Amino acid sequence: MEDSSNNIRPCALITGSSRGIGRAIAVRFAKSGVDVAVNYSREGGKSESAAKALVEEFKSLGVNAVSIKADISKKDEVKYLIAETISNLGRLDYLVLNAAKAPFKPIEKLFERELNDLVRTNYMGNIFCVQEALSYLEAASGKIVFISSLGSKYYNASYPLGSMKAAMEAVVRDLSETLSKKGISVNAVSGGIVKTDSFKVLRQYVEGLDMMPESFFVTPEEIADVVYFLCSGQSRGISGQTIVVDRGMSNSLFRNFTK
Ligand SMILES: NC(=O)c1ccc[n+]([C@@H]2O[C@H](COP(=O)([O-])OP(=O)(O)OC[C@H]3O[C@@H](n4cnc5c(N)ncnc54)[C@H](OP(=O)(O)O)[C@@H]3O)[C@@H](O)[C@H]2O)c1
C-alpha cells in the first residue's frame, strides 16, 4: 500500500493494538508495507511489553513503528497519541478505531462509574481520536475504520457495549457524509465471535456459546483483511457502511447448534 506518487510509506494508527483483533490489524498493515502506531492503555503490564515486541517485529519487516501508551477515554491522552504518531511516523493515513472495554452485565445494573466509563471509552474516546486526527487524515485523503460487533443489532443480556457499537455505527454513517468533503472515507467492520481475551469472559455470560461449531468463529485475521480492504483503493465505492464479517452466523435466527 505504498503511496505510488512519491514512494512515501503510509501510516496506520490502530487503537488497542497490542493484543487481540487490533494486533492482527497492526500485523496486516505492517506486512503490507505500512508504518504502524501500536496503541495500548495499561502501563507496565503484558500489553506494554507486547506492544514493544510488536514494534521490534515490524521494524525487522522494514517498516517504521512506534508503541504509544494512551487511554482513549481521556482527551489529553488522545492528543498525545496523535502527536506522538505524527512526530514518530510523520503522517497519518489510516485510523482504525478498535479499542473497546466494557463490563459484561445488564444495562439496568450498571453503576454510574461503569456507565461513565462505557460511554467515555467506547463512544467519546473514538470521537476524540477522530477530532484530533482530522487535519492529518485530511492531508492524506485518509480512511477511518471502526470495529463494531453484532451487539449493535442483536440482544445479549450482558453486553452493554452493544448500545455503544450501535451509536458508533450511526457516527460512522454521519461522519462518512461530512468527512467525504475532506476526502476522508469512513466505514466499519462488524465482527462475529472471535476468540480473543474478551471472548474468555463473554463465554461465561452467553448461554450455549460453547455449543457453537468451530466453523462459525471468526479469526482476527479475517477481520484484519476486511479492514485492510476498506483502507485500500479497491473500496472506493463504499462509504458509511458497516461490513459484517461473521462467517454467516447472523444470517439465520434459528440455528440448531446441537446438530
Ligand atoms: N472478540 C470478539 O468476539 C469481538 C467481536 C466483534 C467485535 N469485537 C471488537 O473488536 C475490538 C477488539 O476486540 P478484542 O476482542 O480484540 O478485545 P480485547 O482482546 O479485549 O482487547 C482490547 C484492546 O483494547 C484496548 N483498550 C481497552 N480500553 C482502552 C482504552 N481506554 N484506551 C486504549 N486502548 C484500550 C486494550 O488495551 P490494553 O491491552 O492496554 O488493555 C486492548 O488492546 C473491540 O472493539 C471489540 O468490541 C470483538
256 within a domain of the structure (yes/no): no
1 band by pLDDT with thresholds 50, 70 and 90: low
258 within a domain of the structure (yes/no): no
Provide the domain count of the chain: 1
- Which pLDDT belongs to residue 40? 98
In the structure grid, which three cell numbers stand for residue 223, read together? 477481520
Helix, strand, coil percentages (3-state) for the chain, rounded to 5, are 50, 15, 35
For residues 192-212, average pLDDT: 87
The predicted-structure confidence for 158-189, as pLDDT tens digits, reads as follows: 999 999 999 999 999 999 999 999 999 999 99
254 within a domain of the structure (yes/no): no
CA angle (64, 69, 74) in 5-degree steps: 130
Q: Is the pTM of this model over 0.85?
A: yes
Residue to probe by mutation, ligand 1, list 14, 17, 19, most atoms within 8 Å of CB: 19
One-letter identity of residue 227: V
One-letter identity of residue 25: I
87 φ/ψ angles, rounded to the nearest 5 degrees: -70, -30
Atom of ligand 1 nearest to the CA of 77: 32
Helix (H, G, I), strand (E, B) or coil at 3: strand
For residue 7, the CA-to-ligand 1 centroid distance in Å is 33
259 within a domain of the structure (yes/no): no
- Which pLDDT belongs to residue 181? 96
Residues with a CB atom less than 6 Å from ligand 1: 15-16, 18-22, 39-42, 47, 71-73, 98-101, 121, 125, 147, 149, 191, 193-194, 196-199
Residue with cell 468533503: 181
151 within a domain of the structure (yes/no): yes
CATH for 46? 3.40.50.720
Residue 191 and residue 208: Cα distance in Å, rounded? 19
252 within a domain of the structure (yes/no): no
4 within a domain of the structure (yes/no): no
Domain that residue 146 falls in = 11-247
Average pLDDT taken over every residue of the chain? 94
83 within a domain of the structure (yes/no): yes
